[in-house]
Amino acid sequence: MRMLLRHRGTAAIGLGALALAAGAAGVPALASAARAGAAAARGVVLVNCVGRAQVRPGRYVLTCADGNDYLTGLRWVSWAGGAAFARGTEHVNDCVPSCAQGHFHAYPVLVTAWRAESRPGHAGQRYFSRLTEIYTGKRPTYYRSGGRKYHPQTVTWPLSATIGSPRQ
């Protein structure tokens, strides 16, 4: 019992010292983190590959199983209501000759997250169930049945309420 009390006292002193050390500089960071958490709890979110809600992420993985397609440098210009808009870069593994030996290529994109739906198991929270990329420069190669190549101007991903985006 004595050790438990001393441990609690040490923890309280440690937290107090940490708060003093952080000073005024730590208060905005804590407030910002609290606002982000509150926004995720009541607003529209993107769900990442481990099922966590994200608001205005700077990076987002599109293929959770292998990580061969992801977005970086996301700069969100709007995140309100039923849609969110960003600019960023998509990185796609060409998987040639295999995905393990492939090379990543970067493509500039505009991103729209849309179709907000209720997120099961998270009362009051909605998630974006679609993400559309609009290529603003060079475009990745996609393949149709029969091995025919094409380079679409846009790609839309269905997003999951639990684990990010499955590729379809």
Provide the whole-model pTM: 0.73
User: pLDDT at position 42, please?
Assistant: 60
**Do you find a cis peptide bond into 140, omega within 30 degrees of 0?**
no
Distance (Å, whole) CA 76 – CA 31: 20
Bridge partners of 93, per DSSP, are 104
Q: What is the pLDDT of residues 124-156, one digit of tens each?
A: 999 999 999 999 999 999 888 888 999 999 999
Q: Look at residue 95 and give its three-state secondary structure.
A: coil
Is pLDDT of 157 > 70? Answer: yes
What type of residue is 155?
A: V
pLDDT above 90 (res 38): no
Beta bridge partners of 132: 112, 156
